[in-house]
Amino acid sequence: MENPDLNIPVFLSFCPYQETKKEVKLADRVNQKLKLLIPKGKIFPAVANLLLEAGLFLEVDDRAYYPRTGDPQIEAKLMKPQNIAQLVEIGSHDAGFTGYDWIVETGSRVEEILDTGFDPVEIVSAAQTAITKQQLRTRRLIVASEYENISRKYLEKETFDYVFIRTYGATEAFPPQDADLIIDNTSTGKTLKENGLKIIDRILSSSTRFIANPVSLQDTWKKEKIGELNMLFESVLNARERVMLEMNLPKDKLEEIVPVLPCMRAPTVSLLYDEKGYAVKVAVRKKEATKLIPLLKKMGATDILEYEIKKVII
């Protein structure tokens, strides 16, 4: 039909509405999930607290395999740390937390995103206190460990003659009746000493790592999502090391005191209501605050406040 006023053809379409490629793509992104693995066992508490402080989860319980997340784009599951690196490598999950020892033990090809520093341990070889390393070389050894691959690589490098026994916990209980040498993780060495053992060699240092699947990182959305998670995790870890200090300074003390304030960039300074001084705010490391507060008081600062910070993004 034609518009009688403009004499321009007007075409009326009665085709049903069709989504554009852009709209379909956006809908797909909204429905995407990032699959995250959380470790059960000894390293669970530190990781769970990190997730809660980052505001990503409503609750994390090691008795529930599927914790409730506050982010609908995250799908989480609890698994043993021994399995997490391999599950992330094969792509059944996009990211997760596990010990560096299990990444090495399983030989998993994953991308390390963050070393959280949680639960630091050393993988060591240990034997009875009266036995020397040279004596161990003179006989065929029975070696017990949870770490078969790490153990065999170490034993072959050291040219020990050995028979390997795979353990499933309580490795320190094997000597002397059931093993001559063990390879185990230790944080302080206390348990080894309590069982009459001494460290022969230190093999590997480990801590809890945030890892990702390399293929997932090639997906634009997943890479961005993993980056956002990492930023939140780092902000929580940074905040744990710092406190916020607030104080009032007389006008004539500002230039003297500000240079002694250790801060991330520069302190925040604002004029007080009566314009007789300044309010100063600065984030400092916790270990610095103890010595800094008495010094600031001596230099003329007043109304000093110290309080915790939840997140610090540098």
* Local confidence pLDDT in tens for the 314 residues of the chain: 444 444 444 443 344 445 555 554 544 556 799 999 999 999 999 999 999 999 988 788 878 899 888 899 999 999 999 999 999 999 999 999 999 999 999 999 999 999 999 999 999 999 999 999 999 999 999 999 999 999 999 999 999 999 999 999 899 999 999 999 999 999 999 999 999 999 999 999 999 999 999 999 999 999 999 999 999 999 999 999 999 999 999 999 999 998 988 876 788 899 998 888 999 999 999 999 999 999 999 999 999 999 999 888 87
Q: Six-digit token pair at 313?
A: 């993004």
pLDDT of residue 53: 93
Flag whether 15 is in a domain: no
Strands 141-145, 95-99: pairing is: unpaired
- Same-domain pairing of 219 and 104: yes
- Same-domain pairing of 94 and 158: no
Q: What is the largest CA-CA distance in the chain?
A: 109
- Helix 44-53 vs helix 220-240: angle between axes, to the nearest 10 degrees? 100
- Same-domain pairing of 289 and 224: no
pTM: 0.83
pLDDT of residue 139: 92
Flag whether 2 is in a domain: no
Flag whether 221 is in a domain: yes
- Same-domain pairing of 136 and 105: no
Q: How far apart are CA 95 and CA 212, in angstroms?
A: 4
pLDDT of residue 205: 97
Flag whether 251 is in a domain: yes
For CA atoms 142, 145, 149, 154, give the dihedral sign.
negative
- Same-domain pairing of 247 and 149: no
Report the CATH number that the domain containing residue 199 is assigned in CATH. Answer: 3.40.190.10
Flag whether 16 is in a domain: no
**How many domains are contained in the chain?**
3
- Same-domain pairing of 112 and 38: yes
pLDDT of residue 28: 53
Domain-terminating residue out of 206, 221, 254: 206
pLDDT of residue 49: 94
Q: Six-digit token pair at 237?
A: 């870890």
- Same-domain pairing of 102 and 229: yes
- Same-domain pairing of 101 and 224: yes
- Same-domain pairing of 144 and 88: no
- Same-domain pairing of 101 and 229: yes
Q: How far apart are CA 60 and CA 76, in angstroms?
A: 10
- Same-domain pairing of 216 and 200: no
Flag whether 220 is in a domain: yes
- Same-domain pairing of 197 and 278: no
44: containing domain? 21-119+208-238
Flag whether 8 is in a domain: no
Flag whether 1 is in a domain: no
Report the CATH number that the domain containing residue 302 is assigned in CATH. Answer: 3.30.70.120
What HEC string does the chain produce?
CECCCCCCECCCCCCCCCCCHHHHHHHHHHCCCEEEEEECHHHHHHHHHHHHHCCCEEECCCCCCCCEECCCCEEEEEECHHHHHHHHHHCCCCEEEEEHHHHHHHCCCCEEEEECCCCCEEEEEEEECCCCHHHHCCCCEEEEECCHHHHHHHHHHCCCCEEEEECCCCHHHCCCCCCCEEEEEECCCHHHHHCCEEEEEEEEEECEEEEECCCHHHCHHHHHHHHHHHHHHHHHHHHHCEEEEEEEEEHHHHHHHHHHCCCCCCCEEEECCCCCEEEEEEEEEHHHHHHHHHHHHHHCCEEEEEEECCCCCC
